[in-house]
Amino acid sequence: MRVLIAYASRYGATQGIAERIAATLRQQGLEATVQPARQAADPAGYDAAVIGSAAYYFHWMKPAASFVRRNARALANRPVWLFSSGPLGTKDKDDQGRDLREFLEPKEIAKFRETLKPRDHRVFFGAMDSAKLGFLHRLVYKLPANRDNALFPQGDFRNWTEIDSWAATIAHSLKAP
């Protein structure tokens, strides 16, 4: 069974998650192809798809959202899983008690749930290294509101156990008779 994994990643954290999911699918005997969403293949040539994006300012990155929109028909006709990589830090909730995975769910996902009927959408904690940020992201990072990294904690918060187990559920579901 052939699975396309398409991702959008600005600094590599989401790419790492996509590659890790592919590795788990391969261990489970599936054929997984990982491609940046900007130049990803037509999902019609695959049995299933996993699509992920980093979240910036409450949105998926354009290449991932465009990939979904331009391939909506093919995606709606096969099993699809979505993931987002976003929240930073070690806390599940913010100071106001909001669950970060829910609060930071990218705005596109509600619509994609309707159009694609994905089997699941999962928000994973991401990673950020301020030394790598581009000009505009660095400006935001340096805003007074982010004093002491209040908004954007720095580090790698990807939870590989959680990612592996999610990928394993995808594999089991695809291999189920």
Ligand X SMILES: Cc1cc2nc3c(=O)[nH]c(=O)nc-3n(C[C@H](O)[C@H](O)[C@H](O)COP(=O)(O)O)c2cc1C
Site residues for ligand X per CB under 6 A: 9-15, 54-58, 85-88, 104, 126-128, 133, 137, 140-141, 152
| Pairing label, strands 80-85, 120-124 | parallel
66 conformational bin, left if phi > 0, alpha if psi -120 to 50, beta if neither: alpha
| Residue with Cβ nearer ligand X (79 or 126) | 126
In the complex, least distance from residue 52 CB atom to ligand X, rounded to whole angstroms: 9
In the complex, least distance from residue 131 CB atom to ligand X, rounded to whole angstroms: 12
In the complex, least distance from residue 142 CB atom to ligand X, rounded to whole angstroms: 10
For residues 142 and 136, the answer to whether their CB atoms sit within 8 Å is no
| Residue with Cβ nearer ligand X (104 or 174) | 104
For residues 171 and 30, the answer to whether their CB atoms sit within 8 Å is yes
Question: Length of the chain in residues, anyone?
Answer: 177
In the complex, least distance from residue 13 CB atom to ligand X, rounded to whole angstroms: 3
| Residue with Cβ nearer ligand X (43 or 87) | 87
SS3 77: coil
